[in-house]
Amino acid sequence: MSNDIFGHDVEADRVYLAQGGDWGQIAAEQAERGDEVIVVNMGPQHPSTHGVLRLILEMDGETVTHIRPGIGFLHTGIEKNMEFKTWTQGVAFCTRMDYVAPLFNEAVYCLAVEKLLGITDDIPERASVIRVLMMELNRIASHLVAMGTGGMEIGALTVMTIAFREREMILDFFEAISGTRMNHAFIRPGGVACDLPEGGIDQLRDVVKWLRKHLPEYEIFCNENPIFKLRMEGVAKMDLTACMMMGVTGPILRSTGYDWDLRKTQPYCGYETYDFESITWDTEDAYGRFRIRIAECWESLKIVEQCIERLERTQGQPVMVGDKKIAWPASLSLGPDGQGNSFEHVKHIMGESMEALIHHFKIVTEGFKVPVGQVYQAIESPKGELGCHLVSDGGTRPYRAHFRDPGFNHLQAVPLMCEGAMISDVVVAVASIDPVLGGVDR
């Protein structure tokens, strides 16, 4: 006995398990059946699976009759490892989940920690503006990867090459701000690691100017391209009922016409004070999700330009909470070479104040305590609702950390999108979900 997608018991003459088995025996049994049904493993090493994803397909000719996602090949134990690190050190772990959009992992985790600490309203305005700036640039970079790789997989190679060209501009800016192109650990409980460097706003203006010049190319290449539309329209359809049933959010949900964007419906980081639109479409298919992502890049660019104005207004203001028992490390600022602590900071803790040195040592090695409790925080990542559930036992480390990565939920919708369609449509369906297996497996 097995279950269909609605949980009803159904008879199954054969069950193929995700962990494999004796394939010689399976092939022999399949040959005896005398029909045209074949079982194909797509992945986990496959150029169009967006990571180490395994899809087990039962096919009649080129028509997919059954499909089952097999995940876990990139499981890294991040959530368990976070239980053995301080609250601040946890940022360096969770940023490595969805490695295409790492700043969203950091943001949702830090917002959850701040909610447990009761300091949500104490975060400096400039820190919140920098968080929004980094997230919206990261949203554009993530959508560029989704559109570029999705285009490449159906033969539109130019879309991929230009998408990575634009993404490089954004990653260069991230490197200038945080020191790294990805896995930044830049957003910290209480604020951000450091302020923008000298010339940071000028570099940001150059990025905005570049994107405004080149984003229209994607619309020219794809929006009305007959081959592109033929491969995308009517493929991987999911209506609103199916989305609700499968816990689907983000561009997939909004492609049904349902306006659900957590930046609007459950604002955080001051998003209610920014002027932007929540993008919806009405086609319920892969093409609609592509159009949503392009339009969202423009909306994110609008938010970034508003951030520039606010950064100029808040120049010189703090980027970390004033409570030295939480700020980690206290008064951290970069040296003139862009690395390490500033000379003034080192001079203070090493040569002027024994108390400052002791505090610096204890806050880094032991961390701060978080009151007993549990919390759930959700934000709108490029892929959908990214949630963080934290439990504190009153210590300096999380008792439990668990993340709701949207890709994990969305992959369970693959059978609804693909069964009854062609194998070529499976590639388009998975690309329209935009899963990142680091976030799915964690």
The separation between CA 394 and the C-alpha centre of its own chain, rounded to angstroms, equals 29
Residue 310 lies in a domain: yes
Taking only the tens place, the pLDDT of each residue in 76-105 is 889 899 889 888 888 888 898 888 889 999
Residue 181 lies in a domain: yes
Residue 48 lies in a domain: no
Q: Do residues 127 and 101 touch, judged by C-beta distance below 8 A?
A: no
pLDDT at 335 over 50: no
Could you give the C-alpha distances from 294 to 137, 254, 281, in angstroms and in order? 13, 13, 12
* Cα–Cα dist 141/157, whole Å: 18
> In this structure, what token pair is assigned to residue 46?
């496959």
Please state the pTM of the whole predicted model. 0.84
Higher pLDDT, 157 or 128: 128
The number of residues making up the chain comes to: 442
Residues 6+ apart with CB under 8 A from 298: 215
Taking only the tens place, the pLDDT of each residue in 214-265 is 888 888 777 777 888 888 888 888 889 988 988 899 899 998 988 888 988 9
Give me the pLDDT at residue 155, please: 78
- Tell me which residue has tokens 């004796």: 22
Mean pLDDT of 364-384: 87
Higher pLDDT, 306 or 198: 306
DSSP state of 120: G
Residue 188 lies in a domain: yes
Give 21's pLDDT tier (boundaries 50, 70, 90).
low
Residue 246 lies in a domain: yes
* Cα–Cα dist 68/142, whole Å: 26
The separation between CA 398 and the C-alpha centre of its own chain, rounded to angstroms, equals 22
DSSP state of 74: T
Q: Do residues 4 and 17 touch, judged by C-beta distance below 8 A?
A: no
pLDDT at 2 over 60: no
Residue 384 lies in a domain: yes
Higher pLDDT, 230 or 340: 230
Long-range contacts of 338-344 (CB under 8 A, 24+ apart): 338/179, 338/197, 339/179
* Total number of domains in the chain: 1
Higher pLDDT, 2 or 55: 55
Domain that holds residue 251: 78-326+369-405
Residue 7 lies in a domain: no
Mean pLDDT of 41-60: 79
pLDDT at 336 over 60: no
pLDDT at 323 over 80: no
Higher pLDDT, 366 or 272: 272
Main-chain dihedrals φ then ψ at residue 38, nearest 5 degrees: -125, 155
Give 108's pLDDT tier (boundaries 50, 70, 90).
very high
* Cα–Cα dist 418/425, whole Å: 7
> In this structure, what token pair is assigned to residue 414?
């693959």
Main-chain dihedrals φ then ψ at residue 374, nearest 5 degrees: -140, 155
The closest of 271, 255, 250, 165 to 214, measured between CA atoms, is 165
* Cα–Cα dist 209/203, whole Å: 10
Rg (CA), the chain: 24
Strand locations in 215-362 (E): none
Q: Could you give the residue ranges of the DSSP H alpha helices within 233-278?
A: 240-246, 250-254, 262-265
Residue 93 lies in a domain: yes
Find the CATH number of the domain harbouring 184: 1.10.645.10
Half-sphere exposure for 265 (CA within 13 Å, toward CB): 12
